[in-house]
Structure 1
Amino acid sequence: MHVLITGAAGMIGQRLAARIAREGMCAGRPLSRLTLTDVVAPPRPAGFDGPIDIRTEDSSSAAIATELAALRPDIIFHLAAIISGEAERDFDKGYRINLDGMRNLLEAIRQESAKNGLYVPKLVFSSSSGIFGAPFPPAISDEFHVTPLTSYGAQKAIGELLLADYSRRGFVEGVGIRFPSIVIRPGKPNASAGGFFSGIIREPLQGQEALLPVGDDVLFTHASPRSAVGFLLHGASLTREQLGLRINLSMPGVCVTVGEQIEALRRIAGDRAVKLIRRAPDPAAADIVKGWPTRFDARRALSLGFRAEQDFDEIIRVHIEDDLGGRLPN
């Protein structure tokens, strides 16, 4: 089993590569080769004695996509993308990376099959709940209409349509994973418009101040990075028959307000941590978040075996286990 991960230097990509290498398996089959690509060199995961190819390149280009398809990996996890805030600020870059990168990869796979013999890989696409736009029903099902209110959401929505059509035509076996907000992200704040969802937990746990640009009543659905990796791996294991024609799925998660996030932090780390959160209203961030969906009816994903945390306390505990060595600093 040859596995390719684009965007492998990102947070989810690194964890996905590490788990696949550690387990030596993917989709129930032994791993024989792992190819990791990103614009910066992905770290080499431990635990796998077979070949690991580290590539530093812009996989959104048609030429690089052709090279990757020529490797004929059995499973491709297409994670390469720029995040929501950056895609909104830089229109050209957002469409080049998030849309052209997807189209070029799909077309490279089709051309590889046409020129060099039948090749139909499993393609797992990291999509986003940002494909949906307001006004929203109380809970959004997979049947809710796709009307994104951000450029990032539009790029992911078009990517889903391309994946569905290339799958329908038999060029790939695709599955689209619509992530909820993935928290708690380790490291420093990034350019994502929703980065504060992680920041208001991550920084106080480290004894540092965190800025909160929106009100406590903002409602959103979250899952941990551990769950995100689980979503991708489970998606790779599903057959075309299990998925049916609707191959893009909204993932389960924990739906809470910002205020409820803060109370979960209080239960785990105490009032001292909560006092490190400073309100700093940002109308631009609030406007972007206002156009995002909040609660999902993920019954189809659940029926197919996808799982996430049960409450936000569990998400914080996962962060402590996976990123803080199993204990709180200080």
Structure 2
Amino acid sequence: MRIVITGGFGFLGRQVAGALLRTRTFRGAPIDRLVLADRIVPADARAVADPLVEVVRGDLVDRLDELFAEPVDVLIHLAAAVSAECEADFDLGMSANLDTTRALLEAARAQSAAGGPMPRVVFSSSVAVYGSDPALPLPPVVSESTLPTPRSSYGIQKLVCEQLIADYTRRGFVDGRVARLMTVSVRPGRPNAAASGFLSGIVREPLAGLPALCPVRPDLRVALASPRRTVAGILRVAEAERGAGKGRLDGGLPVNLPALTVSVAEMLSTLRQVAGDSVADLVTITPDPGVEAIVGSWPSVFDNTRAAALGLEPDPSFASVVREYIDDHPDAVLAGTPGL
């Protein structure tokens, strides 16, 4: 069993790799090789020392021959340019998201055509595929049957990739499956260029004793998932058997991973309850119409039926999300923070 993770040293890539290395199996079969592909490999990356791990460094399109030098059984495609990056640089988004995904699909198709195993391709899509078009507003509750009408270049690119994967699967080139991720909060580490990055920053930075800006109105409602629930969702979609019935992946539709719906005001109130006034007061509301236009176009309430059939559930509360972050990253929390 040879598994390739693109974006293997990004935040989610490291988390997915860590989960696989802990079990060392995929669908009950032993993993022989876990290939982590990324443009940048941190010097302190722990996974590099594991005997199962192989590292491929560089631009994915330039490393396809290396990635497919041996048969790929599972390809978990997490590498992407994020939302605000794609809005600021159209060519970057088209290259990193659309062109790279198609190149990976073509390499997977070539493997099947040459008599090799049909790769299981797992694609991380996004809630950004949805948007409220003036002529076709979103329904109050969104499901996989809701027509996606993205309002950002990032959302468009993710949706196009979803459709490519659906057609490559229909044609029998790959076994494709798509997990649509909610906004992941709370992400550790440095801020990234995602428009939704503040949904981690307004918790992460204050807990570290740093000021944070909130660029949207407090009553804006958003759909979130913790890192743990997101990783569990990606791997569940990856491992699920195809077919009808509970616990199986039926049809060719993407799976919207479970969403916790919460307002920004509720997030800040929870931070105040968990960590105290001095921490919560480090957040300043500073409206940014560009950020709100992107994040505000995404739905916030989801029908989680399809994910629940796979055994996936949303986080129970935002308080549990904050406490999970504190438990997982104690070194990132300022010592002596009130309430902790």
Q: TM-score range by the shorter chain?
A: over 0.9
Question: Which digits, 9 at most, give the CA deviation of each residue in 1:29-77, with x for residues without a partner?
Answer: 2221110011101564459853311111111x2x523432332221111
| Greater Cα shift, 242-251 or 232-241 | 242-251
Q: TM-score, normalization: structure 2?
A: 0.91
Decide whether aligned partners of structure 1 residues 66 and 158 sit closer, same or farther in structure 2, where only a CA change above 3 A counts. Answer: farther
Are 1:175 and 1:236, in contact at CA under 8 Å, matched by a contact in 2?
A: yes
SS class of match (1:207): coil
Give the Cα–Cα distance (whole angstroms) in 2 for the partners of residues 84 and 274 of structure 1.
Answer: 27
Question: Which digits, 9 at most, give the CA deviation of each residue in 1:262-311, with x for residues without a partner?
Answer: 11111210111111111111111111222222211121111121233111
Question: Which digits, 9 at most, give the CA deviation of each residue in 1:235-283, with x for residues without a partner?
Answer: 1111122222234111112100000001111121011111111111111
Are 2:141 and 2:303, in contact at CA under 8 Å, matched by a contact in 1?
A: yes
Q: TM-score, normalization: structure 1?
A: 0.94
Decide whether aligned partners of structure 1 residues 102 and 47 sit closer, same or farther in structure 2, where only a CA change above 3 A counts. Answer: closer
| Other-structure match for 1:172 | 174
Aligned residues: 327
Give the residue type in structure 2 aligned to 1:5: I
| Other-structure match for 2:51 | 50
Q: Show structure 2 runs of 5+ residues with no match.
A: none
Are 1:79 and 1:125, in contact at CA under 8 Å, matched by a contact in 2?
A: yes
Decide whether aligned partners of structure 1 residues 254 and 329 sit closer, same or farther in structure 2, where only a CA change above 3 A counts. Answer: farther
Are 2:56 and 2:63, in contact at CA under 8 Å, matched by a contact in 1?
A: no
Give the residue type in structure 2 aligned to 1:194: S
| Other-structure match for 2:238 | 236
SS class of match (2:18): helix
| Other-structure match for 1:284 | 290
Are 1:83 and 1:192, in contact at CA under 8 Å, matched by a contact in 2?
A: yes
Question: Which digits, 9 at most, give the CA deviation of each residue in 1:165-214, with x for residues without a partner?
Answer: 11111211111010001010111211111111111111111111110111
CA positional deviation for 1:101: 1.0
Q: How does 1:6-85 map to 2 (within 5 A)?
A: 6-41=6-41, 44-46=45-47, 50-59=51-60, 61=61, 63-85=62-84
Give the residue type in structure 1 aligned to 2:167: D
| Other-structure match for 1:159 | 161
Give the residue type in structure 2 aligned to 1:246: G
Decide whether aligned partners of structure 1 residues 275 and 326 sit closer, same or farther in structure 2, where only a CA change above 3 A counts. Answer: closer
| Other-structure match for 2:110 | 111
CA positional deviation for 1:325: 5.3
| Other-structure match for 1:204 | 206
Are 2:144 and 2:253, in contact at CA under 8 Å, matched by a contact in 1?
A: no
Are 1:174 and 1:247, in contact at CA under 8 Å, matched by a contact in 2?
A: no
Are 1:22 and 1:48, in contact at CA under 8 Å, matched by a contact in 2?
A: no
CA positional deviation for 1:233: 1.1
SS class of match (2:96): helix
Give the Cα–Cα distance (whole angstroms) in 2 for the partners of residues 130 and 250 of structure 1.
Answer: 11
Give the Cα–Cα distance (whole angstroms) in 2 for the partners of residues 328 and 67 of structure 1.
Answer: 43
Are 1:253 and 1:310, in contact at CA under 8 Å, matched by a contact in 2?
A: no
- The share of aligned pairs that are identical, in percent, is 41
| Greater Cα shift, 286-295 or 203-212 | 286-295
